[in-house]
Amino acid sequence: MNVVIPKENLENETRVAATPGTVKELIKFGVEVHVESQAGLSSHISDKDYEESGAKIVDSKEKLFSQADIVLKVLPPTLDQIVLLRPKTVMVSFCQTTRDMDTVKALKEQSVTGFSMHLIPRTTLAQKMDALSSQANIAGYKAVLLAASRLGVYMPLLMTAAGTIRPAKVLVLGAGVAGLQAIATAKRLGAQVEAFDVRPVVKEQVESLGAKFIEVESHEDEGVGEGGYAKETSEDYKQRQQDLIHEHISKADVVITTALIPGKPAPLLIPRTMVQSMKPGSIIMDLASENGGNCELTQKDQIVDHNGITIDGTSNIPGLMPVHASELYAKNITAFITYMIKDGELNLDLEDEIISGAMYSHHGEITNEQTLEAIKI
């Protein structure tokens, strides 16, 4: 059975779906690993590194895809890649199936079995496969460093001969994996940190990192959805949320937004009027830019200057740390694919919660309910 690792073909994608370490792990399960030439270049992995780990290097993309039984990627395959695949090939990658519908339809028509790393269930058994969390962790960390590098003030409190410098104020909106890492990183840099989340259950985690939790009084489960993710809230709650954020954002030097709702556009937390109340020189790092952004002025992959306030819409922040981003992603995707390999053969147990949960197309049919609903709309 052939597992293939193509080179990511989008210009700003620096990650790769396998490292020499995960190639060795895959080979232990009785498969052959084929890597497209220069696939790991942006992550500082050479063809020689892959060869020494037991992989075969393939120069031709057409040859690579045509001999694939399993394809491991970071981003969803492009249409020109999909047509090269044989029926019953297995494709594993990130894929927002309610948004990347052309990809889903093309895989269905090609009778390719599609798995999305976005759909891995949040269970204890699937923890080591949770690529969303591993990449979000990097995004939260790097976003704070990017903001600090652009900020015109110090992050920590400083006592100098010329006087005392107050610490920067950082506001984190959304206390999931990315938000918690942003809090921890900002605190390490000495900033004064506040955090907001619609889920009251995260208050203890926020406070354990040394940040102040700001909250809207509500029913305990108001913003808590399936699997611990956030869900949409009532209109009354949204208005009180806006008032609370407005009060705190006007004092912030840095705002990190991370709020996402699975399968839906990112919630709007910072309208234009709120941005206009911020101090000149302050910075918004919008980690939800790929899904529309939490700030009304965010433009995906653009840095916007609005009256002296910077709004950074970089969508692939993990790609700015390609070595560790690739290492972690490769471990996640390898844990998932080896979970399904028995004696060198793929065993697709459709009764298994992890396998069925992550699958969105199989035998020419779309199998994920949310994806089906999105396509019908």
- Residues marked as catalytic: 122, 127, 130, 133, 229
Residue count of the chain, please give it.
377
Closest CA to 308 of 256, 269, 253: 253
Please, are residues 43 and 326 in contact by the beta-carbon 8 Å criterion? yes
Which is it for strands 32-36 and 56-58: parallel, antiparallel or unpaired? parallel
Q: Which residues contact 146 (CB under 8 A, 6 or more apart)?
A: 285, 312, 314, 317, 320
Longest dimension (CA), the chain: 72
Identity at 26, one-letter amino acid code: L
Q: Which string of DSSP letters, residue by residue, matches 14-55?
A: ---S--HHHHHHHHHTT-EEEEETTTTGGGT--HHHHHHTTP
Distances (CA, A) of 30 to 86, 129, 335: 21, 20, 15
Closest CA to 319 of 36, 96, 12: 12
Segments of the chain assigned E as strands: 2-5, 32-36, 56-58, 70-72, 90-93, 113-116, 158-160, 163-165, 169-173, 192-196, 212-214, 254-257, 283-286, 303-306, 309-312, 341-342, 345-346, 359-362, 365-366
Q: Which two tokens stand for residue 220?
A: 């305990």
Q: Rounded distance, CA 5 to CA 124, Å?
A: 27
Q: Rounded distance, CA 103 to CA 78, Å?
A: 7
Q: Identify any residues that bridge with 195 across adjacent strands, giving them in sequence order.
A: 172, 213
Segments of 129-177 assigned E as strands: 158-160, 163-165, 169-173
